[in-house]
Amino acid sequence: MNNINKLYKLHNSNQPYIIYKSNNGFKLYSDFSKKIILKSKIDVENFLNFKSNKKRTKKTDLFIGFFGYELLNNLIDIKLPKQNSLNFYKGIFYKPESVISINNLNYSNSYKKLNKNFKININKKTYTKIFDRFKKRIRAGDTYQIKICTKYKSKSKVDPLDFFSRLSEFNLAPEAFMIRDKDFSIVSCSPENLINKKGEQISTKPIAGTVKKIDKMNKSKALKYFKKNIKENKEHNMIVDMERNDLSKICVPLSVKVSKEKIIEEYRDLFHYVSLIKGKIKKSVNNLQIIKAMMPGGSVIGCPKINTLKLLNNQEKENRNIYTGSFGYIKFNGDMRFNIIIRSILNFKNISEVAVASGVVIDSNANREFNENYIKAKALIDLY
């Protein structure tokens, strides 16, 4: 049986499976022998407490899954206030017994238009109020950049593989993934890598700045656009310094370097303004410490992280669930790869949830940011 047929067969069965973008295509993870459900900080600490073994390098020698936003807060001792919640899982990791490669998905389901009745959780008026309140906090120096999250929800039953394959067709994001389990599915075209750890080397690749590929826009024009845009530059600079900081917590002094500073990466439909920061991990540091230093990923929260998280959490009425959490894997040899979960759809209890966020800095404009949120959400909602 060839690999794509194995995927179709899995999909038509009831078995859970995961697809994650790889260098040349996708990897399909299945035949899970273990499923670890994480409910608390202690669960995460116990889960990450396994001793890595350099010799364990089989393709299946890993745990793959996600940490939700709440769990990542709890991990750095930030408690969330009472929020409305779907009671979705806080974190799950799976141990696969099968890992195979797939070149491309082209899965064509008899696609029917679905109910597109998405409702937004905060309207423009409320958004503007929150925005103005945060701007005051920026003026007072309590935060320098803060991301307001808006959520779109709709009742619908989706075919996650159909969604994922169409999404990958439009937007082949380097950190795209999907999870299909019995009672939920997640589809994401995340472009952002948060942790890439191989041996003692670690890197993070924050994105701050996105521009659509409209006619005549090419790589050098995109670079010019960003270099000229002072606001985009300031936002990006802040994230670079914050990621340098987070890496410096766990890296050998003086090993942290900005190895690519503000470059343009080209994807099928858009350009991203990206930096790459690298470091060498201290011998005494374990994977739990790395995760606590880096997560939740700063570029989707704001800066400085702790104070900004507190400001955000106190004003958000709804649990973020997976949004701005991290998906990825931990190999038994200690290597890790994690993304930031953005541009994602969570399907749970026949509800689809799309969350998006955009940043408030001193010179941003409420109207523009609200619309940017809408544009980001629309790319996903258009799949319905």
* 249 forms part of the interface with other proteins (CB under 8 A): yes
In this chain, which stretch among 195-203, 243-251, 325-333, 376-384 interacts with other proteins, using CB under 8 A? 243-251
Interface residue with other proteins, options 245, 289, 315, 333 (CB under 8 A): 245
* CA 18 – CA 190 distance, rounded (Å): 15
Q: Going along 216-343, which residue ranges are E strands? A: 257-266, 270-280, 302-303, 326-331, 336-339
* 248 forms part of the interface with other proteins (CB under 8 A): yes
In this chain, which stretch among 85-93, 180-188, 250-258, 347-355 interacts with other proteins, using CB under 8 A? 250-258
* CA 42 – CA 33 distance, rounded (Å): 22
Give me the 253-282 binding string for other proteins, x by CB under 8 A, dash otherwise: xx-x-x--x---------------------
Amino acid in position 289 = Q
10 vs 194 by CB, closer to other proteins: 194
175 vs 246 by CB, closer to other proteins: 246
**HSE value, Cβ hemisphere, 13 Å, CA-based, for 297:** 28
Asked whether 233 and 253 are in contact (CB, 8 A), the reply is no
* CA 248 – CA 250 distance, rounded (Å): 5
* CA 147 – CA 136 distance, rounded (Å): 14
Interface residue with other proteins, options 141, 182, 214, 284 (CB under 8 A): 141
Interface residue with other proteins, options 11, 41, 124, 234 (CB under 8 A): 234
Judging by DSSP bridges, how do beta strands 26-37 and 17-21 pair with one another?
Answer: antiparallel
User: Tokens 């909602």 — which residue?
Assistant: 381
309 vs 377 by CB, closer to other proteins: 309
* 140 forms part of the interface with other proteins (CB under 8 A): yes
* 307 forms part of the interface with other proteins (CB under 8 A): yes
* 235 forms part of the interface with other proteins (CB under 8 A): yes
Q: Going along 134-182, which residue ranges are E strands? A: 145-155, 177-180
Angle (nearest 5°) at CA 83 between 317 and 47: 125
- Report the nearest approach of other proteins to the CB of residue 306 (Å): 5
Query: Which residues of the chain form contacts with other proteins (CB under 8 A)?
Result: 138-145, 230, 233-238, 240-242, 244-246, 248-249, 253-254, 256, 258, 261, 298, 303-307, 361-362
